[in-house]
Amino acid sequence: MVQYGSVSGEDIFAKVKGLIKDLIAKLEQEAKDAATEKAYCDDELAKTAAKESDLEDSLKKIKAQLDRKSAKFADTKDDITELQEDLAKIAKEQTKLDKIREDEHAAFVTEKDDLEKGLEGVRKALGMLRDYYSEDKDESSSDAPSGEAPVFLQRQPGVPDTAHQKQGGAASGIMEILEMTESDFAAGLAKAQTQESDSQTEYDEAAKENEVEKETLETEVKFKNKEYKQLDKTISQITSDRDSLMTEQAAVLEFSSKLKDRCIAEPETYAEIKRRRDAEITGLKEALEILKTEAALLQRKQKSFRLRGQTP
């Protein structure tokens, strides 16, 4: 090849140099592609890591918010249960008060009826006795002698009284007893009426307090129910947001795993590959320079031989 090249004047290393140049170009393109891939990996790994961190922070915040709302939701539910229990107690207490008042009033009506009937009977008896003995006094005053009786009559023995005689002294004691009984009945009736009035007043006050407390509790229950529904809606929204973030996080983690397989999970690091490739390119370039130098030397020798008329 050297002799043929010397005669024909062709560069005998042209094909070799071409192959070397092609190999250098290929290696340089690979180096460029590798640098581009390295830049892409560095950029995507940084972005993915930042995205993972942001999603992790967002999930921590939203989970903390969900925990707070869930705790508040549970507390509100407990408050509603407690308020409803208080309302049930008030209703039970009011029912008990109603029954007591009903029984007391029924007892009062019976007692009042008995006392009024007794009082009416005593007063009738007193009236009859008073009327009866007032007539006796009138008769006694009308039958009394005016002046002294004749002497002959005074000497005669008295005629025995075989007619009924009104017992004024005994009747006076009976009327006193009846009057005391009347007084006792009247006092008992007045006492029963006073107790009835006091019991009704106490009942009205207790019923009013229960009504006010009931209205207050019902207002609180209404407010708590509204808060409960709002919390339930908020929790549903937060849960939906959390699920969306978890779905996004799963997608990012999957992409990150594939990206790491592509960019990191290699037998050799980028730096090592680059070092070997650069050394190979440098060696090829040096070989190319040597070939150029050798080709130039051969050309000078061939030229010197031709000037001398010799054939190499």
For residue 44, the domain's CATH number is 1.10.287
Domain count, the chain: 1
Q: 241: buried, middle or exposed (CB in 10 Å: 19+, 13-18, 0-12)?
A: middle
Instruction: Assess if residue 159 is contained within a domain.
Output: no
What is the per-residue pLDDT across 77-106, written as a single tens digit (0 to 9) for each?
Answer: 999 999 999 999 999 999 999 999 999 999
In a domain, 286, yes or no: yes
Residue 106 lies inside a defined structural domain of this protein: yes
Per-residue confidence at 218, pLDDT binned at 50, 70, 90?
very high
In the predicted structure, residue 310 carries a pLDDT above the cut 70? no
pLDDT beyond 50 at 236: yes
- Does the residue 161 lie in any domain? no
Rounded to the nearest 5°, which phi and psi values hold at 138?
Answer: -65, -45
Rounded Cα gap, residues 213 and 206, in angstroms: 11
* H or E stretch covering 5: helix 2-8
- Does residue 160 form part of some domain? no
Over the stretch 276-299, which tens digit does the pLDDT of each residue have? Answer: 778 778 877 877 787 777 666 666
For residue 159, pLDDT over 50 is answered with no
Q: How many angstroms separate the first and last alpha carbons of the chain?
A: 13
Q: What is the mean pLDDT of residues 117-140?
A: 78
Confidence at 201, pLDDT banded by 50, 70, 90: very high
168's tokens: 């004024």
- Residue 211's domain spans which residues? 2-140+169-304
* Residue 120 within a domain: yes
In a domain, residue 238? The reply is yes
User: In sequence order, which residues have a C-beta less than 8 Å from that of residue 301 and are 6 or more positions away?
Assistant: 312
The Cα–Cα gap between 256 and 267 comes to 19
In a domain, 37, yes or no: yes
pTM: 0.56
